[in-house]
Amino acid sequence: MEGAAQLVSTVGQLVGEEYQTLRRVGGQVAELRDELATMKAVLLMLSNADDGSVDPFVREWMNQVRELAYDAEDCIHLYIFRVRCRPNDRFFVWSRRLLATLFSRRRLADEIRDLRARAVVISERHARYGLSREALSRSSSLAPAPRTTTHTLRAANDPDQFVGISEQAKLLAAKVEKMDDNKERKVFSVVGFGGLGKTTLAMEVCRQLEAMFERQAQVSVSQTFDGRKDLQALLKRVLQQIVNVKPDKEKGIKEEDSLTPDDMDLAGLTSTIEEKLKDKRYLIVIDDVWTIAAWEVIQSKFPRNNNGSRIIVTTRIDTVAKACSPGSDCIHQIEPLNEKDSEKLFLSRAFGSKDASCPKELKDEMGKILKKCAGMPMAIVSIASLLASYQSLDSKDMWERICRSIGSEMESNPTLEGMRQIVTLSYNHLPHHLKLCMMYLSIFPEDYVVVKDRLLHRWIAEGLVEEKRGLTSFEVAEGYYKELMSRNMIDPAPFVYNYDDGGGGDMQGS
């Protein structure tokens, strides 16, 4: 009997402890929210520092705090959406919800305990290695905050983006337009390493020849293109464009309301494209082809009619270009910009106009930067967009620092790795709130077209958009979007599809 009483007493004690543990979850979450606010404040302070000026230990400590902050945020979201009882719930509803969330509360209690333990370890490590608040503040104050100027925002839609490309486009357009006696389909290849402007060149040719072709479409091919899985999506994008009716022009096919590419399988898409293009002169751009196998699969789906149709392929690989265009006269080797055009492009992005002049105090640094960019338009635009926020005479130190950050190997051997370094440099100089929005884009697959309004609503829903007095959340998010555009971190999609939910303002992930 005494044993049974002892057992009941022990069980009662355990139940009481369990109840206290579960009951305290709400308070622990509130404390965790305060901890998270502190962590975010530290990360915000450090995020404005120039990446090269941050001590390696500080950077590693930042990464640990950031991961802890992410986990803490997940824990808080779990409590808000699955555990927390609503204040206005009646007693019966409140009790039922309390019982239904027992398991989640136990899990939350364990997770909060683990998070607190991790926070203590990180804090002790911070103290053990002598990382003081003064050191953190010193790191964060080394780089001045960038400013967004009026001409920086104008540059996002600057017509000077075609500097150095227009002449090449005219030459290629003349070849593409020329009709042979047999009017057979021809394939032209634009080849060159990444960042030289192959896509821009192909799109400018399409613009110049718009009136010469009855049907046009432009699609992009990912590096990991799989003929079995990705071909259907690619053909769907083609069909969406060739059936799209454009205002005041007979570039699409009218009365196609019953046509639903989304409902078609591969065979249906292939036969429909064949039917719509077989007696038309068409121009198709296939952007960024990486393998001969991908090319063979794609090109077989377009009819070989004798109407003077053309396909333009862009690729980084010579062997792919030769496989697409056996005749050497159909291969266009895109060239880097010359010194004069490089300077014009830089001035148009950094100072708002290709006719602008660079302050003499910054001219030497501009020359060094352009030399390192080696005539690559993407590199020039990325660096110039970054420096557009630093134009005052006291910004020379920032120009020198950015110039040193560009790898010298870019000058003699422009590579994708060199471009990645430049893009990383641009990212590191983004304000904290724009870094978060930029990182969010990584959830989308390569070459995915993101509808602008949907993206802005997602940023808002994820809590990435700060509140500003007098502005709606959507207006603030739109400001973020425009600033990323002005910094050349995102681009409008060059290929606009016939989506039901919007046209302009879409962007393409790459």
Could you report the per-residue pLDDT of 130-164, keeping only the tens digit for each? 555 555 554 444 444 444 444 444 444 454 556 77
Domain identity same for 354 and 291: no
Q: Clarify whether residues 127 and 149 are in a common domain.
A: no
How do residues 201-217 score in pLDDT, each as one tens digit?
Answer: 888 888 888 888 888 98
Helix (H) / strand (E) containing 125: helix 102-128
What's the whole-number mean pLDDT along residues 94-121?
66
Q: Does residue 450 register a pLDDT over 80? A: yes
Quick check: is 133 in a domain?
yes
Number of structural domains (the chain) is 4
Type of residue at 411: E
The whole-angstrom separation of Cα 12 and Cα 3 is 14
Q: What is the pLDDT of residues 392-449, one digit of tens each?
A: 767 788 888 888 877 665 665 555 566 677 777 778 778 888 888 988 888 887 767 7
Give φ, ψ of 397 to 5 degrees: -60, -40
**Helix locations, 24-55, DSSP H:** 25-47
* The pTM of the whole model exceeds 0.85: no
Say yes or no: 148 and 122 in one domain.
no
Do 361 and 328 lie in one domain? The reply is no
Name beta bridge partners: 313. 189, 286
Beginning with the edge strand found earlier in the chain, give each strand of the sheet holding 310-315 in spatial order: 215-220, 282-287, 310-315, 186-191, 331-333
Please write the tens of the pLDDT for every residue from 462-480: 888 888 888 899 999 999 9
Q: Which two three-digit tokens encode residue 465?
A: 């958009």
How much is the pLDDT for 223?
79
Where a domain ends, among 284, 309, 333?
333
CB contact at 8 A, 388 and 351 = yes
Q: Which domain holds residue 6?
A: 2-140
CA-CA distance, 70 to 62, in Å (whole number)? 12
Coil vs helix vs strand at 186: strand
Q: How many CB atoms lie within 10 A of CB 146?
A: 21
Q: How, if at all, do strands 507-508 and 449-450 pair? A: antiparallel
Q: Confirm whether 421 is domain-assigned.
A: no
Q: Is 82 in the same domain as 190?
A: no
One-letter amino acid at 108 equals L
Shared domain check, 321 and 185: yes
User: For residue 120, what are its two tokens?
Assistant: 């203590």
Q: Is the domain of 378 the same as that of 352? A: yes
Q: Which of 411, 341, 315 is nearest to 369 (CA)?
A: 411
Residue 455 banded pLDDT, cuts 50, 70, 90: very high
CA separation for the pair 177, 309 (Å, rounded):
9
Same-domain check for residues 156 and 189? no
Torsion angles phi and psi, residue 66, rounded to 5: -65, -45
Question: What CA–CA distance (Å, rounded) separates 378 from 197?
Answer: 7
Q: Is residue 470 part of a domain?
A: yes
At residue 39, does pLDDT exceed 70? no
